[in-house]
Amino acid sequence: MAQLRAAIDDLDQRLVALLAVRQTYMERAAQLKPDRAAVRDEARIEDVVAKVLAGAKGAGLSAAIAEPVWRTLIERSIAHEFEAFDRR
């Protein structure tokens, strides 16, 4: 069990690093978007979720895990992007 937990902890740290990169992309998007109304894009949200679900299926990840995780990630990313937009 200790080895399994160590492997999970290692994976969590790699996920954190990847999410940090994703966050920098959101910050860059906030700089590129012409106005605040462009920050939230419903069509893009659904496109991202659809791509994630397709990838999850291929990887063997349950949609019951993937979809709520990504929807939460997207909502928090949008909130972060609004904050970054407002700081510019």
How many structural domains compose the chain?
Answer: 1
Cα–Cα distances in angstroms (integers) from residue 70 to residues 1, 28, 32, 39, in the given order: 28, 20, 23, 17
Residues 36 and 45: their CA atoms lie apart, in Å, by 16
> Tens digit of pLDDT for each residue in 31-84?
999 999 999 999 999 999 999 999 999 999 999 999 999 999 999 999 999 999
Q: Which domain holds residue 11?
A: 2-87
pLDDT band at 25 (very low <50, low <70, confident <90, very high): very high
Overall pTM > 0.85: yes
What CATH number does residue 35 fall under?
A: 1.20.59.10
